[in-house]
Amino acid sequence: MIHEDCIFCKIINGDIPSAKVYEDNDVYAFLDISQVTKGHTLVIPKTHVKDIYQTPEEVASNLFAQIPKISKGIKEAFQPEGINILSNTGEVAGQSVFHLHIHLIPRYGKEDGFKPTWETHSEDYTQEVLQSIAKNIHEKIHN
């Protein structure tokens, strides 16, 4: 379950200090050291899984089940105006620690330290193309 060279496994194990926000049998939540915004929290499964592709449904289920109440805890503590919930998979997506984690980034305004950019390309995609892309993905979703 624990991966020797994994910094988050070491945190779960107590070998590296962390600021704990929440813990149960399956899940550990602690402050991200970068604190992109105040209260920025990481929620991780206690089982070592590298990323979302490697995650069994039960691990995902237990992990995400705790996200609402942890988010509400952050909201009650610091009254952010909103919260971004995200997980980076792969280096290109910004993943730097290869133990699955969900970022909870409370938002205090548009200049609060977190700047996601969403370019829209909707004019490049006809309904026909959208249907074909969706079909392609749909056919590759395996249970």
Residue in 12, 18, 41, 74 binding ligand AMP, rule: CB under 6 A = 18
Catalytic residue among 40, 99, 101, 103: 101
What is the C-alpha to C-alpha distance for residues 12 and 45, in angstroms, rounded to an integer? 9
Least gap, CB of 94 to ligand AMP (angstroms): 5
Closest residue by beta carbon to Zn ion: 6
- Verify whether residue 142 is a known catalytic residue: no
Interacting residue ranges for Zn ion, rule: CB under 5 A? 3, 6, 8-9, 48, 99
> Of the listed pieces 50-58, 87-95, 108-116, 117-125, which binds ligand AMP according to CB under 6 A?
87-95
User: b/e string for 20-31 if b means 16 or more Cβ within 10 A?
Assistant: ebeeeebbbbbe
Q: How far is the CB of 59 from Zn ion (least distance, A)?
A: 12
**Residue 46 region by backbone torsions, left for phi larger than 0, else alpha for psi between -120 and 50, else beta:** alpha
Beta strands, E only, 27-136: 27-31, 41-45, 82-86, 102-107
Binding partner of 9, given Zn ion, ligand AMP, none, CB within 5-8 angstroms per partner class: Zn ion
Q: Catalog residues that contact ligand AMP under the rule CB under 6 A.
A: 7, 16, 18, 32-34, 88, 94-97
